Amino acid sequence: KILILDFGSQYTQLIARRVRELNVYCEIHPFNKVPAFTPDIKGVILSGSPCSVRDEDHPNPDLNQYLGQTPVLGVCYGAQLLAFENGGDVIASTIREYGRARLSEVHATNRLLKEITIGSQVWMSHGDTIKQIPDNFEIIASTDSVAVAAYKIAGQETYGIQFHPEVTHTTEGKTLLRNFVVHICGCQQDWTPDQFIESTVQELRDLIGNDKVVLGLSGGVDSSVAAMLIHQAIGKNLYCIFVDNGLLRHNEFQSVLDSYQHMGLNVKGVDAKANFYNTLAGLTDPEQKRKAIGRVFIEVFDEEAHQIEDVKWLAQGTIYPDVIESVSVKGPSVTIKSHHNVGGLPDFMKLKVVEPLKSLFKDEVRLVGKTLNIDDLILSRHPFPGPGLAIRIIGDITPQKVHILQQVDHIFISGLRTSGLYNEVWQAGAMLLPVQSVGVMGDERTYENVVALRAVTSVDGMTADWAHLPYEFLADVSNEIINKVKGVNRVVYDISSKPPATIEWE
Ligand code: XMP
């Protein structure tokens, strides 16, 4: 495997995804917890960082067990760190070294640069630059403005590059990473979905044996793929519970339950709508709503789990981005909402936890799901928040409001599907606002609800842009909603990006 040391760059996870796309397994570790060398570590990549090596207390781990023993590739800050620590000169760059540049010189005989062409575009993003390399360093690539675009240390397989090979703007970045990971580190490209499934199923069998496992299905990609993997390993000893909290989309509970049964899962659908509505009645504060939903879910789930005799394990669909230990080099990041319930159910369940997807990124989970023949209806669906429509009804929740929003949402989402726009957006939904507005229908004045439609494009939900849906499409959807959904007389479209807005309204 490849070890990626994270110095806090926004691109660290992208490096990992690119390496995995080469079918090579890699792990991200924080720079201040460098794992001890083991023979399965075939190479190390040092990430970029928002820090500067010129700062007094810049991140500077002891890499002696790796340098000179194992191939090392420093990217951006990683490259500057190696140069600086070996006596090179790193200065604040006077010219802007952001954005596109072109390689003007390339040592084609160098193994890192095999098949990298002169003139190819690279993406720079740094405030510092290497002015002078140490004596035993050799420049192997340059751009017009950055002489030390790439270097190698003589006599060892240690490289530095000041551009970012992991972003798509570096057009031959993937070739460079392949050169490093496959040719220089000698990694086998055998980390594929098939291989992952085969070895994971075997590991799950060994781990679980004849024990019983309980798993909460949500209808989402992660819990569904986790369920199918465990199902392959232990069959009917996997007990799945799918709770109807009354906050799902129109008809979603039944159609997803049908899919699960079709997939052969041992699944129990639990109608807990009344329970959720009763607890939510009168609550208007978003955090209180979230907490109430979480609490009722745990109660319902716990009761169901107790009915399975002698259950030993709790399975969860935790994925890699939830468990990567994040580096905070510039102070702790603030919690904006109490969501993303990492850790899942509380200790009182007293079950051992099994998380078969915890080494995978989202796109890898989808690939594994595809290989397992999971329904596309489940695999390609947009993310949907755990508290469901409750955080899209601003203010208090009533079954009537849920019903109105389900109809609105259904018209919008079906419209996206039939117009072929569904896969163009990352997430879409509707918000029911606590606002009444005046309208005219026939000769009557109306005083009814406003709904807001929201559709965004994004990569991971951390940042998002509002989707530029065609006017004609929006016009049709708006008409259909106002004509068909009783209680709604006005539709607006949200044109805020994240940041500063968020995707959800609560
Ligand atoms: P925001 O609104 O923070 O949303 O821009 C980013 C992503 O997170 C989802 N989201 C939630 N998911 N529980 C969840 O499981 C929550 O309480 C929650 N709040 C927001 C949101 O749908 C989007 O995908």
* Rounded to 5°, angle at Cα 325 from 47 and 169: 35
Annotation-wise, does 104 bind a ligand?
Answer: no
| pLDDT at position 443 | 84
Distance (Å, whole) CA 408 – CA 161: 51
Candidates 491, 481, 475; CA nearest to 407 is: 481
Q: Which fold has domain 193-379?
A: Rossmann fold (3.40.50)
Q: Does the active-site annotation cover 166?
A: yes
Q: Is the CB of 249 under 6 A from ligand 1?
A: no
Ligand 1 nearest-atom number relative to CA 384: 22
Q: Is the CB of 321 under 6 A from ligand 1?
A: no
Distance (Å, whole) CA 225 – CA 230: 9
| pLDDT at position 111 | 97
Residue closest via CA to ligand 1's atom 11 equals 385
| pLDDT at position 99 | 80
* Rounded to 5°, angle at Cα 162 from 158 and 168: 110
Annotation-wise, does 219 bind a ligand?
Answer: yes
Distance (Å, whole) CA 164 – CA 74: 10
| Residue position matching structure tokens 């017009």 | 144
Q: Which amino acid is at 38?
A: T
Burial label for 60, CB within 10 Å (0-12, 13-18, 19+), is: middle
Domains 2-184 and 193-379 belong to one CATH topology: yes
Q: Is the CB of 294 under 6 A from ligand 1?
A: no
Q: 338 pLDDT exceeds 80?
A: no
Q: Mean pLDDT over residues 27-38, rounded?
A: 96
Question: Ligand 1 mean position to 89 CA, how many Å?
Answer: 45
The pTM assigned to this predicted structure is 0.86
Candidates 173, 247, 245, 182; CA nearest to 216 is: 245
The pLDDT tens digits of the residues spanning 260-313 come to: 999 999 999 999 999 999 999 999 999 999 999 999 999 999 999 999 999 999
The pLDDT tens digits of the residues spanning 371-427 come to: 999 988 899 999 999 999 999 999 999 999 999 999 999 999 999 999 999 999 999
The pLDDT tens digits of the residues spanning 36-65 come to: 999 999 999 999 999 999 999 999 999 999
Distance (Å, whole) CA 366 – CA 370: 6
Annotation-wise, does 125 bind a ligand?
Answer: no
The pLDDT tens digits of the residues spanning 212-251 come to: 999 999 999 999 999 999 999 999 999 999 999 999 999 9
The whole-chain average pLDDT of the chain stands at 93
Three-class DSSP category at 79: helix
Q: Does the active-site annotation cover 164?
A: yes
Q: Mean pLDDT over residues 198-222, rounded?
A: 96
Q: Which amino acid is at 357?
A: L
The pLDDT tens digits of the residues spanning 2-18 come to: 999 999 998 999 999 99
| pLDDT at position 343 | 46
| pLDDT at position 462 | 86
Question: Ligand 1 mean position to 383 CA, how many Å?
Answer: 8
- Of the residues 26, 97, 126, 164, which is catalytic? 164
Distance (Å, whole) CA 498 – CA 239: 39
| pLDDT at position 330 | 53
Distance (Å, whole) CA 163 – CA 62: 24
Three-class DSSP category at 475: helix
pLDDT over 70 for what percent of the chain?
95
Q: What are the residues whose beta carbons fall under 8 Å from the beta carbon of 223, sequence distance 6 or more? A: 215, 216, 217, 316, 317
| pLDDT at position 332 | 37
| pLDDT at position 219 | 92
Tell me the CA distances in angstroms from 89 to 84, 157, 439, one per residue in order: 6, 21, 69
Q: Which amino acid is at 412?
A: F
Does the domain formed by 399-493 have CATH 3.30.300.10? yes
Q: 136 pLDDT exceeds 80?
A: yes
Ranges of each domain in the chain:
2-184, 193-379, 399-493
Q: Is the CB of 220 under 6 A from ligand 1?
A: no
Tell me the CA distances in angstroms from 264 to 137, 172, 198, 232, one per residue in order: 59, 44, 19, 10
- Of the residues 166, 172, 448, 506, which is catalytic? 166
Q: Is the CB of 503 under 6 A from ligand 1?
A: yes
- The band of 328, judged by pLDDT with boundaries at 50, 70 and 90, is low
| Residue position matching structure tokens 């609800």 | 449
Distance (Å, whole) CA 300 – CA 273: 11
Distance (Å, whole) CA 332 – CA 315: 30
Question: Ligand 1 mean position to 387 CA, how many Å?
Answer: 9
| pLDDT at position 97 | 66
Instruction: Name residue 261's beta-bridge partners.
Output: none
Residue closest via CA to ligand 1's atom 7 equals 461
Q: Which CATH number fits domain 2-184: 1.20.1530.20, 3.90.400.10, 3.40.50.880, 1.10.630.10?
A: 3.40.50.880
For ligand 1, mutation pick of 297, 319, 339 (most atoms within 8 Å of CB): 339
For ligand 1, mutation pick of 391, 457, 504 (most atoms within 8 Å of CB): 504
Element (H, E) at 175: helix 173-178
